[in-house]
C-alpha cells in the first residue's frame, strides 16, 4: 500500500511515532477533503488508502475551529491559509505534536503526493495546504 511509504517518510524524517504520522497525515487530508469538496475524489483516486488515513485522524475540538474562525475573520487570503492550518493545531495537540509540526508535515506530504499522483494532484492539495 502506497500510504505505508508516506507514513515511513514522516516517521523517519520527523522522528515521530507511526500513530502520530497517520493521525497528522489524516488531519491534513481531511482538511483537503473539506476544502476541495468534489475535487477531492481526484486525490482519493490517485492515493489508494487516503480514506484510511482520514479515518485515523483525531476529531478536532471546538477551540481549534474557533482559532481558525478568528484568523479567517481577520481577513485576506493569507489569513485564510493560516486559518486552514491553524484549525489543525487542536488535532495535532491530541496526537501530542506541537502546532509547529503541521508545517513540517506539509512538504513531505506534497512531495509524496506529487510522486504518486502527479503534479496536477499536488497542485490541488497545494492550494489548500499552503
Among 72, 85, 86, which residue's Cα sits nearest to residue 129? 85
For position 79, what pLDDT does the model report? 44
Q: pLDDT value at position 114?
A: 95
Domain that holds residue 87: 2-9+17-129
pLDDT tens digits along 93-123: 999 998 889 999 999 999 999 999 999 999 9
Q: How many CB atoms lie within 10 A of CB 106?
A: 17
Into how many domains does the chain fold?
A: 1
Q: Where does the pLDDT of residue 75 fall: very low under 50, low under 70, confident under 90, or very high at 90 and above?
A: very low
pLDDT for position 89? 84
Mean pLDDT of the region 25-49: 93
Kindly report the pTM of this predicted structure.
Answer: 0.82
Digit-coded pLDDT (tens) for 13-24: 999 999 999 999
Closest listed residue to residue 84, CA positions, set 59, 108, 103, 56? 103
Amino acid at each position: 500500500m502506497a500510504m505505508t511509504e508516506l507514513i515511513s517518510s514522516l516517521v523517519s524524517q520527523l522522528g515521530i511515532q507511526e500513530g502520530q504520522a497517520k493521525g497528522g497525515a489524516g488531519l491534513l487530508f481531511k482538511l483537503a477533503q473539506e476544502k476541495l469538496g468534489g475535487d477531492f475524489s481526484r486525490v482519493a483516486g490517485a492515493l489508494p488508502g487516503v480514506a484510511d488515513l482520514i479515518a485515523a485522524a483525531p476529531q478536532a475540538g471546538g477551540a481549534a475551529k474557533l482559532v481558525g474562525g478568528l484568523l479567517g475573520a481577520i481577513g485576506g487570503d493569507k489569513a485564510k491559509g493560516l486559518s486552514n492550518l491553524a484549525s489543525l493545531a487542536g488535532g495535532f495537540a491530541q496526537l501530542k505534536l506541537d502546532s509547529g509540526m503541521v508545517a513540517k508535515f506539509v512538504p513531505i506530504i506534497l512531495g509524496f503526493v506529487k510522486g504518486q499522483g502527479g503534479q496536477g494532484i499536488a497542485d490541488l492539495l497545494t492550494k489548500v495546504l499552503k
